[in-house]
A and B are shown apart, each in its own frame.
Chain A
Amino acid sequence: MKFDNSVLNVKLAAARPNPWTNRLHLDLPLLGGLIALMGLAFVILYSASGQDLDVLLRQGGRLLLALAIMLALAQVHPDHIKAASPLLFGLGVLLLGAVLVIGDIGKGAQRWLDLGVFRFQPSELMKLATPMMLAWYLSEAGLPPRWPTVLIAGLLIVVPAALIAKQPDLGTAMLVAVAGSVALFLGGIGWAYLLALAVVLGATLPIGWFMLHDYQRDRVLTFLNPEADPLGRGYHIIQSKIAIGSGGIYGKGWLHGTQGQLEFLPERSTDFIFAILAEEFGLVGCVALLAVYLFILGRCLQIVTQAQDTFCRLLSGALTVTFFVYVFVNIGMVIGILPVVGVPLPLVSYGGTSMVTLMAAFGILMSIQTHRRLFPV
């Protein structure tokens, strides 16, 4: 065996100058980016909530919980995360099945599993478990993937996505599918396979369509064509565009956005919070927010390229790209270039579930970054 690690050793030592962040397995640049983003989030949320301090306090509580989870996950060695991946994935699929069964009994849309003490959304777990499973499977199966591997990987993506789509929660199903597919893509899947998978996926869509209930089909149709629903989503988009456009370059000023403050804009503290930012802080504010996101993404990509084994590379890569997809899908929907999906603006929208999942993902990235071996073997 031949090693050429002299450059690496020096570099690693230089990258970890601070002993306490070392011991806590924190990645300072990433943490800094996240804190900056959350500071911005609180400023916007205060305005979007109609200056409601209660809302800020509750969001602050969730943030602390999410940070604690991130910190806890950062302590777990990537090897252990890898070992836990298939278990977590299996558990998640079982829970999704359980939710569907309970949901069928209740006949309505059901996403929550009531565990007595707290309610838990298995589809949220799958946002992490699916890319973890794919990274585990592909790193075990050998790369680049060939036919049987690609088929099994495809199943590992389609099964959870289909179960979530049946809830019906198409937004989350799409994100889970994206997270898994990115892992497969980064794993070096050949372009021919990619094309074949796309064809197969296209062919299975109609079958899934026939498996849906009537009312679920109605929801899918509204999702694809919001203009058919002028009382609901079409109205959101019209009002949202007015809010953003009227913000101009510099915005109307904090707490001075008429669209938001006069409550023309529905869901303004959750899915449509970006419109509040755009109205009150204008193009400058929007670009600033995008810059913070890009900073976080940049640091994540650095972690991805420095990751030392296949599992870590695929997982960190998938989580990073998925994070961007969240940002893109939410903003794209608010500014009217994508259909309205129930995807919140990551770490800015009010609400706890997605925040916990996202911070858990950053915890995994920090673990990958801070558990690197000096001499990878």
Chain B
Amino acid sequence: MRGGRRSTAISDGLRTRHTPFDSRMFLSRIALCVIGMLLATGLLVARLVYLQIVGQEHYATLSRDNRIRISPLPPNRGVIFDRNGEVLADNIPTYSLEVVPVRAGDLKRVVADLTELLGLTEDELQRFNSTLRRSKPYDRIPLRLQLSEEEIARFAVRMPRFPGVEVRAHRVRTYPYGNLTSHVVGYVGRISQAEMDLLDRSAYSGTLHIGKSGIEKSYETLLHGSAGYEEIETDVTGRPLRSLGSVAPLSGNDLTLSLDIKLQKVAYDALGEHSGAVVALEPATGRILAMASKPSFDPTPFVNGISRKAYELLQQDPERPLYDRALRGLYPPGSTVKPFVAMAGLEAAKLNPAKRVSCPGWYSLPGSSHRYRDSFRRGHGAVDLRYAVTSSCDVYFYKLAVYIGIDKLHDYMERFGFGQKTGIDLDGEMRGLFPSREWKRRVRKSDWSLGETVISGIGQGYVQATPLQLARAAAIMANRGQVVTPRLVDTARAGGKTRDPHADDPRPPAIEADPKHWKLIVDAMVDVVHSGRGTASRIGGGLPFRIAAKTGTAQVFSVGQRQNYRTMKVKKKLRDHALFIAFAPAQEPKIAVAVVAENSGFGGKVAAPIARALITHYLQVPP
């Protein structure tokens, strides 16, 4: 009570310096706090009394018998199938050697002895130590992941010498088709620290692997499932005696892809020794049928940690086998853009398709002497739109691009997906580019020049597209305007229930255009293959249906004004890329294809037969 009086005296003095502050208010608030604190302390003591006096016997018994440990049960990762039920990614049983540090005693000695016994490699020891550093003392830490039968036997004999070291059964991921699916299905690998920080640790306790690329990565949450746990009674040294009960893990979803592994193999083989990519999809649905990138690599070593040396070798390979060209390869699409530019002319610029343009083999802008060459040096003579597409007349499209104007052209090409992500259910796809004035100002910080419009009309200059984008653009043409989103996963199946993970996805709006215009362009594309003057007429023979297609040749090497491009004299790396887009049958399309074969010259020669191989296989006619 004396304290209270004293403080009142102080605040009497304070009142002169500060705005009125009721000292009694402050003290009453302090008193309230004190009461609160005393009550809270009382609560703590009451709880302690309850635990330590009332519950003492109960807990002492529990403590004496406290031999209960909780052990995580990792879930089975979902299996990945192709559309016909062929297994693309599976889990097979394997045995690993694991150490529980707190029970192992002198860890250094144990590891040294095991190194001697099993010949552990430097890589394995390094990985063990890095896992050790970030785990709890009662965690199991793998030392060697795939033990051979002989190694298991050798360890089993000496097991009593190694408390806290155990052989455990695991399932490990395998990819039966190896190189064929390493880009699209992807692979799993050991969980890194950075990934660990983002994960739900409970769901992942006991899990060693996580999807690193392709479907494995993009569908990680569906594939993984959730961990269960087991309560295990142990003896004094921590050796398990019996299971007291468990909560079963929740297995991951089995995924069925729209991919047809046989068609994938046809695509892969047809590319031969060319680097490049092939994408085939169902135009009506956007479901991917084949998606191959070459050269490829074997995903198996990645699963249990690829050695540094092998990884560097893959990374430094000039052909870049780790790079998924189908999804991420950016190529100048060349003349494959012409059918779409033609649609832009008809729909956005009221082009009269019958009007003829004279093609002398080159084109110059008014007031300029620079000649934009036609790939056919003698010129095509007088060409209308249909013939311009069929014969791939560059001069016609130079003029058409200038006639439409770059901004209108950019806007229309965007609707066919140029410069837009396709929205495929895979991570990491590239956006590509169809330039516009606004883009150049924003990114290149300079003004647009008309010459750039000219070459954009034949898919050169700044224009870049992925094989996936080209296949989708072909599908949109095949659909006469219906836009589709490419999809790899058809169904996800878990706990006996099958569902379509894309069931709720919105359907993108169609490109509305005059049916006569669609017909005109599709007919021109059919002529590319089936008329004598078409650039891909060599693949048109002996088919019970029609293919609509367009060839493309993307310049890698720029030819000087007066030089002559002689294929054989140019180094292979600088040779043109061959491109080809197609869909078939032309009137009721079942498949749309895009092919890019790097550095292989003219599109009609190399890329077209690859597309034909896919189409004939898929539509089940003899090649």
Contacts and interface: CB of A to CB of B under 8 A. Distances in A.
Interface string A218-251: 1000100000111110010001011111111100
B59 interface: yes
Contacts of A302: 3
Contacts of B199: 215
Contacts of A245: 51-52, 55-56, 58-60, 62-63
B70 A235 contact: yes
A239 to B, nearest CB: 8
B47 to A, nearest CB: 5
B63 A282 contact: no
Contacts of B47: 335-337
A354 B34 CA distance: 24
Given A222-B202, A248-B56, A308-B14, A337 B43 contact: yes
Interface stretch (B18-26, B263-271, B307-315, B423-431): B18-26
B137 A232 contact: no
B197 A139 contact: no
Nearest to A219: B200
B53 A283 contact: yes
B201 interface: yes
A331 interface: yes
Contacts of A218: 200
A244 B364 CA distance: 91
Interface string A301-324: 110111011100100010001001
A7 interface: yes
B503 interface: no
A8 B9 contact: yes
Interface stretch (A58-66, A68-76, A118-126, A182-190): A182-190
B205 A290 contact: no
A216 to B, nearest CB: 10
B10 interface: yes
Interface string B45-77: 101110111011011101110100010100000
Nearest to B59: A245
B52 A309 contact: no
A235 B205 CA distance: 14
A246 B63 CA distance: 6
B45 A287 contact: yes
B27 interface: yes
Contacts of A266: 136, 138
A3 B13 contact: yes
Nearest to B72: A231
Interface string A1-24: 111110110010000000000000
B445 to A, nearest CB: 26
B16 interface: yes
A302 B19 CA distance: 24
Nearest to B7: A305
Given A139-B18, A231-B70, A294-B41, A248 B6 contact: no
Nearest to A1: B16
B9 A4 contact: yes
A281 B215 CA distance: 56
B533 to A, nearest CB: 56
Interface residues of B, number: 62
B260 to A, nearest CB: 34
B16 A8 contact: no
Contacts of B18: 139, 142, 309-310
Interface residues of A, number: 73
A246 B55 CA distance: 8
Select the residue from B53, B55, B136, B202 with max chain A CB neighbours within 10 A.
Answer: B202
Nearest to B3: A305
A285 to B, nearest CB: 10
Select the residue from B10, B16, B200, B229 with max chain A CB neighbours within 10 A.
Answer: B10
A188 B26 contact: yes
Interface in B347-395: none
A376 B10 contact: yes
Contacts of A2: 12
B52 A249 contact: yes
A42 B89 CA distance: 55
Interface stretch (A27-35, A195-203, A257-265, A344-352): A257-265
A328 B40 contact: yes
Select the residue from B4, B52, B70 with max chain A CB neighbours within 10 A.
Answer: B52
A109 B136 CA distance: 19
A188 B66 contact: no
Given A283-B48, A377-B13, A215 B37 contact: no
Contacts of A259: 63, 66
A147 B30 CA distance: 22
B33 A182 contact: yes
B13 A5 contact: yes
B365 to A, nearest CB: 47
A215 B12 CA distance: 55
A297 B33 CA distance: 12
A218 B200 CA distance: 7
A342 interface: no
A125 B7 CA distance: 31
Given A305-B30, A377-B13, A143 B19 contact: yes
A7 B8 CA distance: 12
Given A235-B70, A242-B59, A278-B48, A4 B12 contact: yes
Contacts of A3: 12-13
B5 to A, nearest CB: 8
Interface string B29-45: 11001100100110111
Contact of B30 (A229, A235, A301): A301
A376 B70 CA distance: 63
Contacts of B198: 107-108, 215
B87 interface: no
A332 B53 CA distance: 18
A86 interface: no
Interface string B215-229: 000000000000101
For the complex of A and B, list the 4 residue pairs with the smallest distance between their C-beta atoms, beginning with the closest. Answer: A245-B59, A246-B63, A142-B19, A108-B197
Interface of A: 1-5, 7-8, 11, 107-109, 139, 142-144, 182, 185-186, 188, 215, 218, 222, 228-232, 235, 239, 241-249, 258-259, 262-264, 266, 278, 282-283, 286-287, 290, 294, 297, 301-302, 304-306, 308-310, 313, 317, 321, 324, 328, 331-332, 335-337, 375-377
18 contacts: A7-B5, A11-B6, A144-B25, A230-B247, A231-B201, A231-B229, A239-B66, A245-B55, A245-B62, A246-B64, A248-B52, A249-B56, A262-B66, A287-B45, A309-B18, A321-B37, A328-B41, A331-B44
Given A245-B62, A247-B52, A328-B44, 5 more contacts: A143-B21, A241-B59, A309-B17, A317-B26, A375-B13
